Amino acid sequence: MPRKLPQRTCLGCRTVRSKREMIRIVRTPDGTLILDETGKRSGKGAYVCPRTECLELMMKGKRLERALEVSPPPSLYEEITRRIVAIGEERR
């Protein structure tokens, strides 16, 4: 029987997708927010689809702040945008 793939909900569009397809943002135990490239860092995680539309919805609704209970620095959104662009280039 095949293994079940973990599913997560996007903070932007609210669709459920495979965990591996999404970008993970983590609130570390010391309270800082970082982008998790590996998907294995310890801390509370939130996910967003690798699409600019989802990032904009997440930012507009302040959904990341509510999900992780910490206000993110603007540099985090810039880093997520760069990651989305990189993923888009990888898929071409």
Tens-digit pLDDT profile for residues 74-83: 999 999 999 9
pLDDT of residue 92: 67
d(C-alpha 46, C-alpha 38), whole Å: 14
Alpha carbon of residue 33 to chain centroid: 11
The per-residue pLDDT for 11 is: 97
Q: Is 2 inside any structural domain? A: no
Total tally of structural domains belonging to the chain: 1
74 assigned to some structural domain: yes
pLDDT for position 3? 87
Q: What are phi and psi of 91, to 5 degrees?
A: -80, -15
Q: Is residue 43 pLDDT above 90, yes or no?
A: yes
Residue 36 structural domain: 7-91
**Domain assignment of residue 52, yes or no:** yes
Q: What is the CATH number of the domain that holds 24?
A: 3.30.1230.10
- Report how far residue 54's alpha carbon sits from residue 49's, in angstroms, rounded to the nearest whole number: 6
Neighbouring-strand partners of residue 46: 25
